[in-house]
Amino acid sequence: MEDIVPTLRLDMVGEPCPYPAVATLEVMPQLNDGDILEVISDCPQSINNIPIDVKNHGYEVLSIEQHGPTIRYLIRK
């Protein structure tokens, strides 16, 4: 997934849950169809919240990568 270039980056490092998931859902409607949002979070609960929430809203999770406490999501509208 390293070859995917995100359209927009949302840095939520340091923000407690549920803010990373809420912010993700607020940003997604602003993107064009096919655009990719990169979300960076260090909230451990986001690994559960973000993938479920975006799928429930009709978006596609392309990738979830964890490096230490930091989790990187790639989401396509």
- The yes-or-no answer on residue 43 being catalytic is no
Selecting among 6, 15, 17, 31, the annotated active-site residue is: 17
Encoding tokens for residue 42?
A: 């260090």
CA-based R_g, the chain, Å? 11
Give the Cα separation of 39 and 9 in Å (integer): 6
Catalytic residue ranges: 17
